[in-house]
Chain A
Amino acid sequence: MEENVIDIKGLKKNFGDKEVLKSVSFSVKKGENMIVMGRSGEGKSVTIKCIVGLIWQDEGSVKVFGKEVKEMTENELKEMRTKVGFLFQNAALYDSMTVAENLAFPLTRVLKIKNAEEIKTRIHETLDSVGLEDTVDKMPSDLSGGMRKRIGLARTLIVKPEIILYDEPTTGLDPITSAEISELILAIQKKNNASSIIITHDMQCAKITGDRMVLINEGECIGEGSYEELQHSPDKFIQSFFK
């Protein structure tokens, strides 16, 4: 079980003159939850967008399931994307659709499930797991920010992806819901043997869900290890995250 499902080496990305990523390298093993931390605007979101080919890096290599993303054909990329779930930082719900239609979208379009009964049960199950069963027929515009985030999470999880990229799953949630979401992430990992990258500023979430952590600063990885290891790191900057 020591194979890497995600392998990032020397990732570099500029936007115009702005150097965002200089050299980011880390890997995620099968069944592992990897926490990514760093200050706002350091390029954490950019990093995980490179994994699914939403942003193309300037240099460096990103391998998913052992295959270089840049060299994938259109079909391979699509195939890979169906196995990778992506929770957007701002949830990115389809706002012309109801919550149920949002959740059904990946089921019917990607998994090509035709059975209405199955779709219904899965929607119900998934909404239940994020604690929002009663929003089925609501429009995204009628939901609060935290609810949108949880529906976004439900839409990501409903296809049972093998790899899940969470972009700040608990930001904007109250401490109780945050803790519930963290437990949910942990449960998903256990149940589906899913591997995840979790970007978060929430130390509680990091502590609960993370197997390992990596810290990104000024476009480079400055620390990697378990929660305890980093917590007791002599580095002042790393220390400051744990206060």
Chain B
Amino acid sequence: MYSNFISLSKKAFESLGEQALFLGSFFRNIFRRDFEWNELIRQCYLIGYRSFPIVALTGFVLGFVLTLQTNPSMKEFGAQNMVPGMVSISAIREICPVIIALICAGKISSGIGAELGSMNVTEQIDAMEVSGANPIQYLVVTRILASTLMIPLLTIFADGVAIIGGFIGTNISGDMSLSLYFRKSIAALVFSDIFPSFIKSVLFGFVIGFVGCYQGLHSNRGTESVGLAANAAVVSASVWIIIIDAIAVQITSAFVYN
């Protein structure tokens, strides 16, 4: 039992060390000559554009459900006209960034993990390395940058859709013009709601790309390890997202909201 614990924590530390090294090689390779613009654009397309439908659906449902859920209790206090502001604040500050990041951990992190994992298993990464090309520059840098760029954009998009969802939710019971609804929900927002949440989603995007690449490139030999890499990518990206969220809320409440 005790020795089990020791070997487990030893493994955890080793993997942390490896991730730190991997992080180092990512940063060393960003500024190399011959940046892979084409691959970056392709990845942005794959990661960003392809995720639009699911992000739109999620954002819409979030705003819609949040409105329907809060409406009755706000009605009791006669504070129904505060619903738009409340929904937009909670969606933008917390719910959209985290939910979208978790969904993307499932969709993008696992996708990258499986793709690089299978490239690893079929020796494609070795082939790149042996030809004298740089797999980190071509595969890793582009994917991490693409997800760091696209996740915040997807989150902003989801924020907007959530507000629309909230509008439709309001109009099921009451009725409020779209322009009034928008004014109410935007008026409730201040810079300190938007900026920290944007930074947070940038970090989420980085983690999603980074973890996917790390797990994919460090998969074992054998086809079953492709599935394991994808799985490990989702789990560890999700854990990181929650940890970052917990830390971020401490930082923002200490500095920004006061």
B45 CB to closest chain A CB, in angstroms?
13
Within 8 A of B (CB), among A66-85: 78-79, 81-82, 84
Given contacts A109-B138, A112-B34, contact A92 B123 (CB under 8 A): yes
Asked if residues A88 and B126 are in contact (CB atoms below 8 Å), the reply is yes
Interface residue from B119, B124, B126, B133 paired with A109 (Cβ < 8 Å):
B133
B222 CB to closest chain A CB, in angstroms?
13
Asked if residues A106 and B126 are in contact (CB atoms below 8 Å), the reply is no
A to B contact number (C-beta, < 8 Å): 53
Asked if residues A54 and B131 are in contact (CB atoms below 8 Å), the reply is no
Interface residue from A82, A84, A92, A159 paired with B127 (Cβ < 8 Å):
A92
Bound complex: CA of A170 vs CA of B34, how far in Å?
36
Q: Is A105's beta carbon under 8 Å from chain B?
A: yes
Looking at B124, B128, B129, B131, the one whose CB has the most chain A CB atoms below 10 A away is: B131
User: Count of B residues near A, CB < 8 Å?
Assistant: 16
Bound complex: CA of A94 vs CA of B214, how far in Å?
19
Bound complex: CA of A98 vs CA of B63, how far in Å?
43
Closest chain A residue to B33, Cβ basis: A112
Asked if residues B131 and A93 are in contact (CB atoms below 8 Å), the reply is no
Interface of B is mostly: helix
User: Count of A residues near B, CB < 8 Å?
Assistant: 22
Asked if residues B122 and A109 are in contact (CB atoms below 8 Å), the reply is no
Asked if residues B124 and A94 are in contact (CB atoms below 8 Å), the reply is yes
Asked if residues B131 and A88 are in contact (CB atoms below 8 Å), the reply is no
Binding site for B on A (CB under 8 A): 49, 52, 54, 78-79, 81-82, 84, 86, 88, 90, 92-96, 105-106, 109-110, 112, 159
Interchain residue pairs with CB less than 8 A apart (21): A49-B126, A79-B132, A81-B130, A82-B132, A84-B130, A86-B127, A86-B130, A86-B131, A88-B123, A88-B127, A90-B122, A90-B123, A92-B126, A92-B127, A95-B122, A95-B124, A105-B131, A106-B132, A109-B34, A109-B134, A109-B138
